[in-house]
Amino acid sequence: MTSGDDLLALENQVCFALAVASRSVIGMYRPLLEPLGLTHPQYLVMLALWERGPQSLRRLADALRLEPATLSPLLKRLEALGYVRRERDPGDDRALKVELTSKGAALRTRALEIPPAVMRRLGMGVAELSSLRDTLTRLIAAVDAIPAR
């Protein structure tokens, strides 16, 4: 800790460091994603679909830790770009299935350039970023373990 170990000093707050880091890193992605026609939230959707293939709206929302109502506008924009297709699940009329189009699947090849560009911009290697991700994953799990009030 700094500032004489003042527990209320701004620079001692984990929430402040996370908020600034999040805004800064997401902002750094913007010029990398623009040539793909994607925003950062749309990129996360595409990553999930490239990795996991077609899935229900609910399952995709759960994977991204978003509410379906938040995810739906992202999917509409991705569909307008021709990257995804949304359709009713034939097995369950209430469920919406989301899948990549051939154009969306092909975009993955171009997206492979993004992680190395991020590492170059940050001046950090795979090991350092993996360690940071693992720490953040443990933090998320710790927050998830806190009983809801």
pLDDT tens for 31-82 read 999 999 999 999 999 999 999 999 999 999 999 999 999 999 999 999 999 9
Of all helices (H) and strands (E), which one includes residue 41? Answer: helix 40-52
Domain residue extents for the chain: 37-110, 113-144
Q: Tokens 């949304």 map to which residue?
A: 86
pLDDT per residue as tens digits for the range 112-140: 999 999 999 999 999 999 999 999 999 99
Backbone angles phi, psi at 100, to 5 degrees: -75, 145
Confidence band for 2, pLDDT divided at 50, 70 and 90: low
CATH T-level assignment (fold) for domain 37-110: Arc Repressor Mutant, subunit A (1.10.10)
> pTM for this one?
0.90
Specify the residue for token string 């229900």: 56
The secondary structure element, H or E, covering residue 78 is helix 68-80
Q: What DSSP assignment string belongs to 103-115?
A: HHHHHHHHHTTHH
Residue 23, pLDDT score: 97
